[in-house]
Homo-oligomer: A and B are copies of this chain.
Amino acid sequence: METELSTSLGIEHAIFGFTPFPAVAAAITRAGGLGVLGAVRYTAPDDLRRDLDWMERHTGGGPYGLDVVMPARQAGPPGAPAPTEAEVEAMIPEGHRRFVRDTLARHGVPGLPDGEASGWRITGWMEHIARSQLDVAFDYPIKLLANALGSPPADVVARAHGQGVQVAALAGSARHARRHADAGIDIVVAQGYEAGGHTGEIATMVLTPEVVDAVDPLPVLAAGGIGSGEQIAAALALGAQGAWLGSLWLTTIEAELHSRALTGKLLAAGSGDTVRSRALTGKPARQLRTEWTDAWDGPESPGALPMPLQGLLVAEAVSRIQKHDVVPLLGTPVGQIVGRMNSERAVRAVMDDLTRGFERAVDRVNRIAGRS
């Protein structure tokens, strides 16, 4: 499964696997794809350095990438110095804090143990944190730098290019994609409505060819709704130069979800069990539908705050829900493809399935086209 882009990156299959887990990213790379490690949870640069050292030892020299989250805009007035986390915290209305407290109380969610800080921090979304992650990442031979929120700043793109690193950015519309192309990025990830995480309203089937046309000749990866080789074949038929998969890895054996209960929810969920909600970050992000997202969509909800306020607001609540495994509230970003994530398998087995399914789909369209 080779495209110009996969050749330029030195991978065997045009499969790009986004994951927060180094063991998953490394296994994707070892299986011939490109593992892309999500950096957002690394608020301490040393933790990222430790895991990239580990990646170096476990990718067998194969290419891998890093995904950061640099928002196009900071909270606060434009042109002002970046606010501190405390300043951002102070922007959160008391009514919203009360809604979080009441919702947690209604579900009997205990607090965090004394002295334990919220493990789930939104600060990785803030530009100075993302920049400290990049300072670490550029010490390693990463092949791809992806940004999940808008185009990265011009100096970051220039620095990446100076080190031979291709830059990718996610887009939910042709207009966003053209903005990325104007900003000098190399690869657009067209992220359809059905994708997990931040996503727009245009479905992958429609979005992919629109973005391909909009940024031609830049390569486009299709994201959203892809969890089988047949779906990869569909994405490639639509003009993509590869498929970007995120959700599918969450139920691999190498994934380190914080609890078995969450894995169980993912394995049991159908394609209709996700919701596109602002409850997690302030921007619409597809995730498991839970009693937590239902509360934010319900009549008592004060409505989500803009990014990054919402993330700060709910950070401790999410930590408490995870810490105590409060199953009805337990969720995670995931796409509609969760409906086919029904067993735990090794990354290698998943990759083998993807490439076999792709070959089957090629056979199928050839038969239909009367070419076999």
Contacts and interface: CB of A to CB of B under 8 A. Distances in A.
B201 A203 contact: no
A182 B173 CA distance: 39
A359 B369 contact: yes
A312 interface: no
Given A233-B365, A237-B233, A237-B364, A271 B371 contact: no
A142 B43 CA distance: 65
Contact of A205 (B3, B201, B205, B270): B205
B237 A206 contact: no
Contact of A203 (B173, B204, B358): B204
A337 B202 CA distance: 10
A225 B234 CA distance: 13
B192 A205 contact: yes
A10 interface: no
Nearest to A361: B237
Contacts of A237: 230, 233-234, 237, 361-362, 364-365
A66 B362 CA distance: 33
A162 interface: no
A350 interface: no
A314 to B, nearest CB: 24
B230 A206 contact: no
Interface in A201-223: 201-207, 209-210
A336 interface: yes
Contact of A209 (B193, B228, B239, B366): B228
B234 A203 contact: no
A369 to B, nearest CB: 5
Interface string A235-263: 11111000000000000000000000000
Contacts of A178: none
Contacts of A127: none
Interface string A334-348: 011101100000000
A271 B201 CA distance: 9
A1 B238 contact: no
Nearest to A201: B272
Contacts of A362: 237, 365-366, 369, 371
B210 A226 contact: no
Interface of A: 1-3, 14, 173-174, 192-194, 200-207, 209-210, 224-226, 228, 230-231, 233-239, 270-272, 335-337, 339-340, 358-359, 361-362, 364-366, 368-371
6 contacts: A192-B203, A203-B204, A204-B205, A206-B335, A233-B237, A366-B366
